Amino acid sequence: MHIDLSGRTALVSGSTQGIGLAIAERLADCGAHVVVNGRDPGRTDAAARDLRSRVPAAEVTPVAADLATAAGATELAQRFPALDVVVNNLGIFGARPALEIDDAEWLRYFEVNVLSAVRLIRTYLPGMMARRWGRVISIASDSAVVVPEEMIHYGMTKTALLSVTRGFAKAARGSGVTVNSVIAGPTHTAGVESFVAELVGDELPWDEAQREFMRTHRPLSLIERLIEPAEIANLVAYLASDAASATTGGALRVDGGYVDSILP
């Protein structure tokens, strides 16, 4: 399928590495002007340079702003008053025994993983609706449905994103704007490599550690491997395109069959 996003401006929050960077690259490859975001100017600039080297014709603008804060969202809106595509990828995760998660950590996870998306949708959805075109895509997780006992605070935020998506899709009804979430399964990123080492130990070679992690901690996967970020980026690019005009309010899965359900 040829996806042409020429003339569209797309923000990918938290896109200096991992899934976010892969999404930014795929959207740039489809012709979109991509806004790369992170908190650190050095890393944001480096990500933009990396994208330009891999997609020579890419139009990429780095924006260093902490989108987990209201001030960061305001700063972004001042630089880009209008966007065609908003990909809410920003998120944090980590293992913590359930009874050891204090109030501050619950609030931090909600602020970063949920409110960052809510603020961006609230900022850009009205303009999209007025122009009769727009795409909002939030990166959720299999943890939204199959909540892992070692990080229920993370699972809670991803469940909340599914509700946020469905609610804002209803707010945009009839406008030509679509609002969807992508349920990503266990994905191979640098952060997940560290997470795997934390859970299964760092003595094993990576391939063996990955297999042990999937066998012990993610046994429901039908592909029995970690997903590559580009595989998630492919679905995001489709949802950002004109071809996905009838898909809205959905939670679409790139989870390797991890969620044991016949519904998306």
140 strand-pairing partners = 183
**Which pair of structure tokens corresponds to residue 133?**
């075109």
Tell me 202's DSSP state: S
Cβ 76 vs Cβ 37: under 8 Å:
yes
Of these residues, 124, 154, 238, 258, which one is catalytic? 154
Helix (H) or strand (E) holding 198: helix 190-200
Residue 139 half-sphere exposure toward CB, CA atoms < 13 A: 31
Residues whose CB is less than 8 angstroms from the CB of residue 144 and which lie 6 or more positions away in sequence, other chains included: 155, 158, 159, 161, 162, 183, 251
Q: Classify residue 183 as left (phi > 0), alpha (psi -120 to 50) or beta.
A: beta
CA–CA dist 181, 247 (Å, integer): 11
Residues 6+ apart with CB under 8 A from 83: 9, 10, 11, 35, 124, 127, 128, 134
Q: Where are the beta strands (DSSP E) in the chain?
A: 9-12, 33-38, 59-64, 85-88, 134-141, 177-184, 251-254
Taken in order 51, 162, 158, 66, the sign of the CA dihedral is positive
Residue 126, classed as helix, strand or coil, is: helix
Strand partners, 143: none
Question: Is 154 an active-site residue?
Answer: yes
- Helix, strand or coil, per DSSP, at residue 115: helix
Indicate which residues carry an active-site annotation.
154
